[in-house]
Amino acid sequence: MAKKRGKIRHSRSRSKGYGSSSSQKKVGMILGNLVLSAILFIASIGLYYLISNEVLRNFFWMLGLIFGFVALAFLLVYIIFVVKKILKK
């Protein structure tokens, strides 16, 4: 009786361009999230100054704080990626 052959897996060798493509995708994602959180921060602070209702003012102030810290975190991650790229060269 004949045996069934298993699938043979071939490993791919990584080229130099493979790592940079992944890194570029990460940087693009970080920049996109940074811009989005910065826009939401500015919108929240703007609504904080426009609204006269005290409950909504507190709500938009808290949203502004949250989005501000998130934007700051993405900015730090972006700076780390830039420094890492500079030091790699």
Q: What is the pLDDT of residue 24?
A: 84
**Which residue type occupies 88?**
K
Q: What is the pLDDT of residue 19?
A: 56
Do 48 and 60 form a contact (C-beta atoms < 8 A)? yes
pTM across the whole model: 0.70
Q: What is the pLDDT of residue 30?
A: 92
Task: Reply yes or no on whether the pLDDT at 18 is more than 70.
Answer: no
CA-angle at 16, arms to 9 and 21, nearest 5°: 90
Show contacts of 47-54: CB within 8 Å, 24+ apart: none
Classify 2 as helix, strand or coil.
coil
Q: Compute the Cα dihedral for 37, 39, 43, 46 and give only its sign.
A: positive
What's the rounded mean pLDDT across residues 59-71? 95
